[in-house]
Amino acid sequence: MEHNENIVAREQATTATGEPRVKQVFCKKSKQWIVKKIYKPHTTKFIQTLIEKVIENRRNPNITFKDSTASLTQPQPPLPPNIAPVPKPPKKAATSSFKSRF
């Protein structure tokens, strides 16, 4: 649902000056820092309708659930340290070498 609503047609975000926004991430495969596009934020328009339908089904006495809602929460695992063995290069240098597959 999230994919259909947001991922398919999102545009790349831009800075206040109109330049496309990018971020640097460390690629495990190539062992180098690469540049990726930053997209506009997700929208959550569809969630309100979805929640209303879930609550409606939850209140329906004809539908029974195996698990109680209290047991559905899971603990969050701790974040691992940075995996990059090399320091991040300046953003200007990384952006100049950026090549898109498309």
75 domain-assigned? no
42 domain-assigned? yes
Measured CA to CA, the distance from residue 27 to residue 10 in angstroms comes to 23
70 domain-assigned? no
The whole domain housing 48 covers 2-61+83-96
Please, which residues have CB within 8 angstroms of residue 48's CB and are 6 or more apart in sequence? none
Give residue-wise pLDDT tens across range 7-49.
667 888 999 999 999 999 999 999 999 999 999 888 787 888 8
78 domain-assigned? no
47 domain-assigned? yes
> What is the reported pTM?
0.44
76 domain-assigned? no
67 domain-assigned? no
Number of domains in the chain: 1
Give residue-wise pLDDT tens across range 47-89.
888 889 888 887 887 877 666 655 556 677 888 887 888 888 8
Four-residue CA torsion sign, 14, 18, 23, 29 = positive
73 domain-assigned? no
